[in-house]
Structure 1
Amino acid sequence: MKKFFIWLLAIVTISTLVGGKLHWDKRVEAVQGINSTVTDEENEKNESEEKEKREKQLEKLNFLPPELKETFKDKMEREEPVHLMVLGSGSSSSREGAWPGELEKGLIDTYGKEFIKVSLNEVGNRTSQQVIEEDLHKRFAEMKPDILLLEPFLLADYEGVDLSDRLKNIDDITGEFKKLNPDIFIIIQPSNPIPESAEYTEAEAELENYSKERKFVYLNHWEAWPIDGGDEIKNYLTKDNQPNEKGNKVWFEYVRKYFIRG
C-alpha cells in the first residue's frame, strides 16, 4: 500500500509539472503574440509617420522657385539640409534686423532646420580686390554651400576698382566655390542703390549683364526701391548709404519672395 501511494504521488507530481509547463508555454506564446502584434502596429505607425513627413517635405518644394527644386529634392533624399550661404559687403550686414538675418528666420520658419541651413558672411567695406588678396573667398568656399547668394561688393568697388578687374574678381570668387562644389547654384544680386549716381547705376547694369552671360540667377532687388531720381531713396538709407530699417525691409521682402513662393 505504501508503494502504491508513492507511485500515485509521483504520477501526480509529474502530471502537475507537465501541466504547468504546458500552461506556461501557452502563456509565453500568448505574450509573444501580443508583443508581435504591438511591434507590427508600431512599425506600421512609424512607416505612416515617415510617409506623412515625406509628403509634407515634398509639399514644401512647391514654395521654391523651379530652378532650386532639384537641389532641395536631392538633399532631402539624402536627409541633409540645404546649405544656403549669404555672402556680401556691409550692405548685407549680419547685424540684428538686417535683411540677411530676417531671410534666415523666414526660410527656417517655412522649411524648417532639418530642410535648410543658412550661413551669413559679411566682409564689411572690403572691395572685391581686397577679398581676393586676403583669400577670404577661399575660406568661405571651403564650407561648400549648396547655394551661394552673393552680393559682390558693388558699392565698395565702384569708385576704386575698374570694371574689368571687378568682373574678373567675381569670376575668381565664384570659380573657387565651383571648384570645391561643382554642383553649387549661384545667385548674384547688387548692393543697395544710392542717390543720384549714374556711374553706379551703370555698374549695376554691367553686373546684371555679367550674371546673365554666366547663367547665374540675378536678383535685381533695385526694382523694389524708389529709384526714380528723387530724394525718396534717402529715406531708405543711413548717412553712410547703407540700408536702414526701411531699406532692409524692402530688400528682405524682395529676396524672400524669390525663395518662398505661393
Structure 2
Amino acid sequence: MIARKIAVAIFILVCLAALLFSYNSWKQKLAGTSSDETVVEAPSGIAATDGEQGVPADKERPTTRDDGRLKDSELATLSANLDGRMAGLLDSRFQAGEHVKLLIVGSQAIEQGGNGGAAGLLADSLADAYKGFIETDIISFAGTSREFIEQMDELVDFGVYDVVLFEPFTLNNNGRVVIEDEHRHILRGRDALQEVKEDAVLLLMPSQPIFRPNFYLTQIRSLENFAAVRGIPYVDHWAAWPDVADDAILNYLDEDSGPNDAGAEAWGSVLVDYFTGSGE
C-alpha cells in the first residue's frame, strides 16, 4: 500500500515537472519572437496603405490632368476681345475638332524689330495661349498693295486660311497708290479669302506710325473709316506708340522709319491683347 502511494506521488511530481518545463519553453519562445519581429496593429477603420501615409491601397489617388489641349473655358476667355464673327469662327472650328489657320500678311515692317517683329511676337503668343489650336503663317512683302495683288496667286493661297490679319501696305503705298485703289485691293484679298471658305474672316491693322506723317496720316484715317463702313474688324495699335508729333516716337523707329525693338513691342502687344483677351 505504501509502495503504491509512493508511486502515485512520483507520477504526480513527474507530471508537474513536465508541465513546468513546457511552460518555461513556451515563455522563452514568445520572448524570442518579440525580440526578432515587432507587430504593430493598425488602428481599426484604417486600411493598409500603398506606401503613402493615409492613402488606402485599394483607392486611386485623385490627380489633376492636363493633356495639353485647349479647353472650352480657356477659348471663351482668350476670345473675349475678338470681333463677334472671329470669335464665332474659333468656336465653330473648336467644336468641330479642327485647327484654325491664321495668316499675318503685310509689308516688311511686320517682321522688323526684335523677336520677329510684331508678327513674330503675335505668332509666338498664339502658339502658347491657344496650345496649337491656332496655326500661324507670316508673309511679308516689300512692295505696294497693287504689286501684292498682282502677284497674290504666286505669293499665297488665301483659300487655305480661316483668318487673315492684313496690313495693307499703306506706308509703302504713300505717293504710289491712291487711297481708293488701296481699298479695292483690300476687297480683292477678302474675296479671295472667302471664295473657298465663306465664314473666313479678314482683319485689318494699320502700318506703323512715323514721325510727323503729313499725308500718310490722311491715308491711315481713311483706312480706319473704310474698315468701319465695310464692317471689317480693325486692330488699331497706334495708341500704344508715342504721339506722331512727339520726338519720342523716334525711339520706336529705325533710321528708315521701320519699327525697332521698342516699336515691334508696342505694335505686337496690342495684337496679343486683342487675340488673347489679356487687355481686359
Sort the TM-score into its range (normalised by shorter chain): 0.7 to 0.9
Larger Rg: 2
Other-structure match for 1:87: 105
Amino acid aligned to 2:102: L
Deviations 1:65-120 (A, max 9, x none): 3523321111112211111110111111278431111111111111101x111111
CA contact (8 A) 2:112 2:259 kept: no
Structure 1: runs of 5 or more not aligned? 1-47
Counterparts of 1:53 and 1:108, CA distance in 2: 12
The counterpart of 1:63, out of the listed 50, 75, 78, is 78
Deviation at 1:212, TM superposition (A): 0.8
Check conservation: 2:159, 2:194, Cα contact below 8 A: no
**Residues 1:257 and 2:276 are matched in the alignment:** no
Deviation at 1:55, TM superposition (A): 8.3
TM-score (norm 2): 0.70
For 2:187, the equivalent position in structure 1 comes to 171
Alignment of 1:139-150 (within 5 A): 139-143=156-160, 145-150=161-166
Residue 185 of structure 1, CA deviation: 1.2
Partner of residue 149, structure 2: 132
- 1:156 pairs with 2:175: no
> Do 1:127 and 1:153's aligned partners in 2 also have CA atoms closer than 8 Å?
yes
Q: Which residue of 1 aligns with 2:118?
A: 99
8 Å contact 1:236–1:244 — kept in the other structure? yes
Shift of 1:61: 2.0
- What amino acid is the match of 1:83? K
Task: Tell me, in whole angstroms, the C-alpha distance in 2 between the residues paired with 1:109 and 1:135.
Answer: 30
Does 2:246 correspond to 1:227?
Answer: no
1:111 to 108, 130, 154: 130
Higher helix share: 1
> Within 2, Cα distance between the matches of 1:168 and 1:228?
27
The answer to whether the 8 Å contact 1:138/1:176 transfers is no
CA RMSD after TM alignment: 2.4
Query: Is 2:215 the counterpart of 1:196?
Result: no
Distance 1:190 1:146 in 2: 20
- SS at structure 1 position matched to 2:198: coil
Structure 2 residue runs of 5 or longer lacking an equivalent are 1-63
Q: For residue 139 of structure 2, what is the amino acid of its counterpart?
A: N
Aligned length: 212
Question: What is the TM-score normalised by the length of structure 1?
Answer: 0.74
**What CA deviation, in whole Å up to 9, does each residue of 1:22-67 have, x standing for no partner?**
xxxxxxxxxxxxxxxxxxxxxxxxxx979x9888333332221352
Kindly provide the amino acid, as one letter, of the partner of residue 58 in structure 1: S
> 1:11 — aligned with what?
none
1:137 shift after superposition: 7.6
Output the CA distance in 1 between the equivalents of 2:250 and 2:70.
46
